[in-house]
Amino acid sequence: MATVNITISSSLNTSLQIGDVVYYVSTTETSGFDVGSNMVEVGVVTAINQSSNIVTCDIVDGSPVPTTTNTFYMFSKDNRANMASPLGYYAEAKFVSDSKTKSEIFATACDVTVSSK
């Protein structure tokens, strides 16, 4: 299977992981907004280099390789592995705001299921 290395100009999303599917949209500027259409699947992520912002993907057969400089990349997760609730008896959460102004949290939630007795 063919592979492609995609270099991202900004830092990579921290939730990107091997096994995610990468898509792209070629964008053009219209009235000051970046507009894109025709989302194209690139393939499955096989390697990630955080220091150089390079993502390696196995190309989907017949999928065109992105060649434009005005390209918006996005990814989706495999929901078989990423939709489950956390397991365990203990959890800790820390909410942090980098804002210089006063901030409030209006709601937060936790899914709790008794798994053993």
Q: What are phi and psi of 32, to 5 degrees?
A: 85, 0
pLDDT at 86: 59
Higher per-residue confidence, 117 vs 25: 25
Average of per-residue pLDDT values in the chain: 80
Identity of the residue numbered 99: S
Report yes or no: 26 and 88 within 8 Å, Cβ to Cβ: no
Q: Indicate whether 60 pLDDT > 80.
A: no
Distance CA 52, CA 33 (A): 28
Domain residue ranges of the chain, discontinuous segments joined by +: 3-82
Q: How confident is the model at residue 48 (pLDDT cuts 50, 70, 90)?
A: very high
Which of 28-32, 81-85, 112-116 shows the lowest per-residue confidence on average (mean pLDDT)? 81-85
Q: pTM score, two decimals?
A: 0.61
Q: Please, what is the Cα angle at 106 between 100 and 111, to 5 degrees?
A: 120
